[in-house]
Structure formats: structure tokens, C-alpha cells
Amino acid sequence: MEKFEELKLKAKAEIEKIASMKTINDVKAKFIGKNGEITALLRGMKDIPAEMRAAFGKRVNDLKEEVSAFFAKKETELKAAESADKFKKEAVDITLPAKTLQVGGLHPLNIVKNKIIDAFTGMGFEIFEGPEIDTDYYCFQALNIPKDHPARDMQDTFYINDNVLLRPHTSPGQVRTMENKKPPIKILSPGRVYRADDDASHSPMFHQIEGLVVDKGVSLCDLKGLLDEFVKIIFDKDTKTRFRPSYFPFTEPSVEVDVTCCKCGGKGCNLCKGTGWIEILGAGVVNKKVLEMSGIDSNVYSGLAFGLGIERITMIKYGISDIRTLFENNVAFLQQFNRR
């Protein structure tokens, strides 16, 4: 009896010391395994006098059950400790700042271009995109700018050979449209243009949008109404327009269009150099010679044209003073236009 009690205490003490599931099986083998100390007692049954054998067997089995219960208890404790440990290690720190996704946005030039296109397509204009590399004929001659005309100086550009060049304006879009389409015509021709120019307000590559209307009886008055509507959409509904006489070989009469300054509303400030007005585009009634050269009967039809620089409108609208900031791709600058 004493030996049973001793063995039970010994097993209990060793089981209590077990620190991990890895070692529990070793200790189990030592006591209740095939060659374990308690199992050995059962094997020794044959040496016990027959009349005591049953009682002895019951004692051994009881002991085995008790020790097994110690193991089971220990196992439960160890498993609980191990999963607590695992949960702790795998825990996610929800107080850490989240990694934010960088979402792209439209470039300010595209934002403004889309607004301009929306404004005019809302008035029935269609889009026509011409080639960026074009011939002398489309860039100049068909627009009533013959060779050696002084108006070419203003637009001297990048020649590929004597006859082929990077277009200096989107006006060739007018000619290509008139050659291919019968009036009524109402088109907008956006795209890149190139000039040998480079300073705070000029870039060797920039963007223009050309507009052309050809129909019976259209006049300067329609041009005024059209552009008036356009500036109200692009700037704000109180913006006013003013036509100043100007000169372009492809329009007659020609005008330069000013709008009331979007910063001071016309009172005079640094943006409008104190005048209250800002020039935004060139326009006019299409020169009859230009219509005729492209096969349109100028006795039946008249035309209106305008050409604007997207950079210029963008700079005025957002108060940008250096055109180069539009091409440097500084993310901090660009993000200002895409605040969510």
C-alpha cells in the first residue's frame, strides 16, 4: 500500500513539472507505457498469492486511472497555455496606422480638357483629332498663311523636312474637317502642339483645342454667344467676355477674347495686372479664302473658328504662375487637383 501511495505521489510530482506537450509522452511512457512502472506492477500479478490477486489488480487499476487523470488534466492545461501563447504571437495590433492605398487621379490639364470638351459637346460639337506631324499645306497654306508670310514667325516650329513639321497649332484640324465633311459642321479638335518657345508661360509642347462651326448664316454674334456660354461653364456664371479686334490670317474679322478676371471678378489684381480682364483665346469669322480652299462655297456658308491653349486656361483657372509645374510631375502638386 505504501508503495502505491509513493508511486502515485512520484508520478504526480513529475507530471506537475512537465512544461510542454513534447515531454508529456516521455513521462507517460515512464509510468503507464508498455514498460512503465505502473504497468510493471500488473505484470508482477503472477507473484501475488491468488487470494490477494483481485484486490491487488483493482488497486493497480485504480492507480493507473488516477495517474491517467493527472495526465489528462496536465494535457488540458498545456494545450490551453499553448493556444494562449499562439494567439498572443499571432495577435494583430489594430492600433497601428493603416497603410493607405495611393490612388491615381487625372492630371489638371486633362481635368480642364475634359471640362472644355463637356462644355462644347453639350452644345452639339463633335470631336475630331488630327495628326501631330503634319504638312506645310495643312499647318499654313490652307489657313491662308503662304510661304514667307510674316505670321509664320510667331509659330516657327520643329521641321522634319522642308514640307513636314510638328504642328504649331490645332488649326489644321479645321482644314481636314472641311475637306471631309459637308456643312453643317460643328467640331472640336484637341491635341498636342509644338513651338520653339520655352519660358515661364511657354512650353515647347503644349495643348490646344480648336473649334470650328460652318453653316448657313453664322456670324460674329453667334461666336460671341457660344464663347460667352463656354466661359460661364469653365470659370463661373458671372464671367463676362469682351472681344478685342485682332489679326489672324485664317479669320476675318479676327478677335482676341478676354474674360473678367476669375480672381478679382474684374476689379483689378495681380493676376490680371490691374486691368480686370484676362485674354483666353483667339477667334474669328473664318476667312472666305480658307473656306474656298477646302471646297466650301463661301457664298452659301460662313464659318466661325476659335483656338485656345489648355495650359493657359488651366493656369488662369487654378492660379498657376509657371507653366513648367504642369510638366514636372511633382506628386504633391498634382494631388491638389484630386482631393477626395
- Residues in touch with ligand DAH (CB under 6 A): 169, 171, 210, 248, 251, 282-284, 305-307
The DSSP result for 227-285, as a single string, is HHHHHHHHS-TT--EEEEEEEETTEEEEEEEEEE-TTTTTS--TTTTTSSEEEEEEEEE
CB of 248 to ligand DAH, least distance (A): 4
Q: Report the residue number, 190 or 307, with the smaller CB distance to ligand DAH.
A: 307
Name beta bridge partners: 283.
255, 306
User: Which CB, 28 or 169, lies closer to ligand DAH?
Assistant: 169
Distance separating alpha carbons of residues 275 and 256, to the nearest angstrom: 15
From residue 107, alpha-carbon distances to 77, 89, 203, 337 in Å are 62, 45, 17, 8
Taking the complex as a whole, the smallest distance from the CB of residue 307 to ligand DAH amounts, in Å, to 2
CA separation, residue 297 to residues 127, 252, 255, 301, 315 (Å) = 23, 16, 23, 6, 39
Q: Minimum distance from CB of 150 to ligand DAH (Å)?
A: 14
Edge to edge, what strands does the sheet with 126-127 contain? 126-127, 185-194, 205-215, 302-309, 277-286, 251-260, 241-248
Q: Compute the distance between CA of residue 250 and CA of residue 212 in angstroms, rounded to an integer.
A: 12
DSSP state of 309: E
Give min distance, CB of 121 to ligand DAH, in A.
18
Give the H/E segment covering residue 114. helix 108-121
Cell of 12: 504526480
Residues 6+ apart with CB under 8 A from 27: 14, 15, 18, 71
Indicate the residue among 254 and 260 with the shorter CB distance to ligand DAH. 254
- Cβ proximity to ligand DAH: between 60 and 188 the closer is 188
Residue among 191 and 307 whose Cβ is closer to ligand DAH: 307
- Closer to ligand DAH by Cβ: residue 67 or 231: 231
Minimum CB separation of residue 236 from ligand DAH in Å reads: 24
Q: Which residue number is nearest to ligand DAH in terms of Cβ? A: 307
Please, what is the minimum distance in Å from the beta carbon of residue 223 to ligand DAH? 9
Which of 151, 264 has the CB closer to ligand DAH? 151
User: How far apart, in whole angstroms, are the C-alpha atoms of residue 112 and residue 120?
Assistant: 13
Query: Residue 36 or residue 303: which is nearer to ligand DAH going by CB?
Result: 303
Residue 267 Cβ vs ligand DAH, minimum distance, rounded to whole Å: 28
For the chain, helix, strand, coil in percent to 5 are: 45, 20, 35
Residue 214 CB, nearest distance to ligand DAH (Å)? Answer: 12
